[in-house]
Amino acid sequence: MLTAKGATGRHADLLVRGGTVVTPEKSAQADIACVDGRIVSLDARGWSASEVVKADGLHVLPGVIDTQVHFREPGLEHKENLEAGTRGAVLGGVTAVFEMPNTHPLTLHRADLERKLAAASGRAWCDIAFYIGGSSVNASELGHLETLPGCAGVKVLMGSSFGDLLTDDDTVLRRILAHGRRHVAVHAEDEARLRERRAIVEASGDVRDHPRWRDVESALKATRRIVGMAAEAGRLLHVLHVSTAEEVAFLAAHRSRATVEVLPHHLTLCAPECYERLGTLAQMNPPVRDARHREALWHALREGQVDTLGSDHAPHTQEEKARPYPQPPSGMPGVQTLLPVMLDHVSQGRLSLQRLVELTSAGPARVFGIMGKARIAVGYDADLTLIDLKARREITNRWMASVCGWTPYDGMRVTDWPMATIVRGQVVTRDDAVQGQPVGQPVRFCNKMAITPA
């Protein structure tokens, strides 16, 4: 790709010329003119620009939105931080992220949210929003907290958390659901069952038992509980990282009550092979499971029963991961590899490019009420991800921007690759390199009403 200077006619800050624009409905060639960070025309005839991106042979997607990342700041910067995490995001074609509340301190109050927004200012390469954790200590305030600028919504952890962020009591869950209007994002694992079954892995010390410990019933029991309570409260849910065939079937019957997220890890990796090859680097919660569950997730995705793809980017150091199982923390990096891995699935015919766009832009916008993003249309933010469907690359640890410095996909060869990332009309990456300065701003949301599932 080349840039050039223009000097005549109507003047734009940026023109993206010659690319094939992809929407959830169709693909068509179009030129995109951008002024003051927004799209002003899809017909660039007669326009000049301060910068021109020649996108001939490339496909132009609405900027990819990753609605589940853990950037570990404040308190855990030895694993990740806001600058490195967002730099990895844009290198992978992601233009906006939603960051989780399990930092030190936890994100539970207005001051916690404002501290994170201040930390991201001038350091985030992509646009960003932060979840508020739903807890017994702030349940009555959540209706207000979820409307604050830069708040992605409320996140509830029914298992696999600590302190005030662990919310496994039904009384507290009902209080949380009673306060607010937006979707509540839920990590659904039954904490009591997980505690009962931990002896399995304490005895075996074998990471291949991770999905046996955190079994189907642990996930399904929690999902059933929270969906039932949400129905009583008249509240909508967004169930994160669904990993089992049984959850898929249950949630398909409750589409009016809950939207669904799946992860590239659960669509790509498979037990027991991933544990034998990667050891504890494949350890995450909920676990990577066997082929039966993976195929059920793919079926749900193709049938329109999945609303968003998130990475659940959750990095830990290789030293932490090298501890004897079950001591290592669960989680793996993923924001930088979300699009390359899913584009490889596109190249192999597992899903269409239009469906991928739906899951990474239109779906997140609909579920979370995102304003001004996720469409290539006049008036919308000029967030664009340019990809080469013919490019062949290898994902490596060396490519990773994350502080943790590794990926479970090290050595994986993929077809299709993000070639440039544009955030509100500013080219922030081109040809695997960042350029300029971090330009991220808080994502804006519509807080007036809940957004119903499709």
pLDDT of residue 305: 97
pLDDT of residue 413: 98
pLDDT of residue 9: 62
Q: What is the pLDDT of residues 436-453, one digit of tens each?
A: 999 999 999 996 544 444
Active site residue 112: no
**Stretches in the chain below the pLDDT threshold 50:** 1-8, 449-454
Q: Is 101 within 8 Å of 108 (Cβ atoms)? A: yes
pLDDT of residue 88: 98
pLDDT of residue 450: 47
pLDDT of residue 161: 66
Which domains occur in the chain, in start order? 63-368 (3.20.20.140)
Residue 425 CB-density burial (10 A; 0-12 exposed, 13-18 middle, 19+ buried): buried
pLDDT of residue 25: 87
Catalytic residue among 312, 344, 383, 388: 312
Q: What is the pLDDT of residues 141-158, one digit of tens each?
A: 999 999 999 999 999 999
pLDDT of residue 6: 39
